[in-house]
Amino acid sequence: MEGREERKGLREDGGERGEKKTEGIDELDDTAQVWNTHTIRPSKNISVPSGRPNVLYALPQLYGTRDFLSPVEDEHLQLCKDECVFRRPIPCDPDVYELCNILMVESHLTLPRDPYQAVNLYRHLREAITASL
pLDDT of residue 11: 47
Band of the pLDDT at 2, cuts 50, 70, 90? very low
What is the mean pLDDT of the segment spanning 8-25?
52
The DSSP code sequence of 77-125 is HHHHHHH--PPPSSSS-HHHHHHHHHHHHHTT----SSHHHHHHHHHHH
Its pTM stands at: 0.40
pLDDT of residue 17: 45
Position with higher pLDDT, 125 vs 13: 125
Q: pLDDT (tens digit, 9 = 90+) per residue, 66-125?
A: 888 899 999 999 999 888 887 778 888 899 999 999 999 999 999 999 999 999 999 999
Q: pLDDT (tens digit, 9 = 90+) per residue, 23-51?
A: 667 888 889 899 988 999 999 988 888 89
Q: 6-19: string of b/e by CB count within 10 Å (b at 16+)?
A: ebeebeeeebeeee
